[in-house]
Chain A
Amino acid sequence: MTRDDVQAWLDRYVAAWASYDPAAIGDLFTDDATYRFHPSDPGFRGREAIVGAWLDPTGDASSRDEPGTWQARYEPFTVDGDRAVAIGSSRYFTDASRTTTRDVWDNCYLLEFGPDGRCRSFTEWYVPRPADRL
């Protein structure tokens, strides 16, 4: 993977999150991918389980992020063959007017890619910023 490949993957990741389109989410991951929201999680295994976890994070769709209420940008920190680490932040607003920030998370993704450029291992570290650092 090149830096450009990883950046393109990260941009598709954000677009898939915004659209909640199952095909777009599934297309990011290999059939047998593992996805961990937290480094100590056993993780969701397989594309279908990952798509399910994105679409219905708590068993139904009610906890999806509302369109326009968040913005996120991630970029590669290092790219090393089929492995990469990406960093960025995710900003959540109180509503779609995007005038008031509710939370900001600093994110770090540990990524491993398959030969077709799909992700086969995803592990996230997210760190909440204190209220005075939003």
Chain B
Amino acid sequence: MTRDDVQRWLDAYLDAWRTYDRAAIGDLFAADATYAFQPYREPLRGRQAIVESWLESPDAPGSWTASFEPHAVEDERAAAVGTVRYLEDGRQRTIYFNVWLLRFDADGRCVDFVEYWREPPEDLRTTM
């Protein structure tokens, strides 16, 4: 994967999150992909399980903004870094700082996804 390939995948991920389009979500992941919301948690296994999990409690349109970019890409692996801001009545409710560890197959679909996320101290969540 090149840096551009990874950026395109990240942009497609955000588009799929925005649209909650079943095919667009599924297309990000290999059939046997794993997806871990925390490094210590048992991952979801399989494209179907990942798609169902995304659709379980969708974020309302316009309730968040996010941006991600690759930090270090090496062969089939990439680490991406970014922020997700959740909004309420047009104002920021909180912000998450995320790292995603990604492994891709030859088709450019994600095989393993592991997320690390941190929220700033309470007094900074609405202003950062």
Contact = CB atoms under 8 A, between A and B. Distances in A.
Main SS class of interface, B = strand
B77 A78 contact: yes
Interface string B65-108: 00000011110011101000000000000010101010000000
A125 B128 CA distance: 17
A84 B117 CA distance: 18
B13 to A, nearest CB: 18
Interface string B13-50: 00000000000000000000000001110000000000
Nearest to B102: A78
Interface string A47-76: 000000000000000000000000000000
B120 interface: yes
B60 interface: no
Interface residues of B, number: 23
A87 interface: yes
Interface of B: 3, 38-40, 71-74, 77-79, 81, 95, 97, 99, 101, 116-118, 120-121, 124, 128
Given A40-B128, A85-B101, 11 more contacts: A38-B118, A77-B79, A77-B101, A78-B72, A78-B78, A79-B72, A79-B74, A85-B72, A87-B101, A106-B39, A106-B40
Most chain-B Cβ atoms within 10 A of its Cβ — which of A39, A108, A110, A129?
A39
Most chain-A Cβ atoms within 10 A of its Cβ — which of B39, B95, B97, B117?
B39
Interface of A: 38-40, 77-80, 83-85, 87, 104, 106, 108, 110, 125-127, 129-130, 133
Main SS class of interface, A = strand
B73 A80 contact: yes
Contacts of B121: 40
B120 to A, nearest CB: 4
A41 B72 CA distance: 21
Contact of A78 (B73, B116, B117): B73
Nearest to B97: A39
B40 A78 contact: no
Given A106-B39, A129-B40, A38 B120 contact: yes
B99 A85 contact: yes
Nearest to B76: A78
B74 A78 contact: yes
A108 B73 contact: no
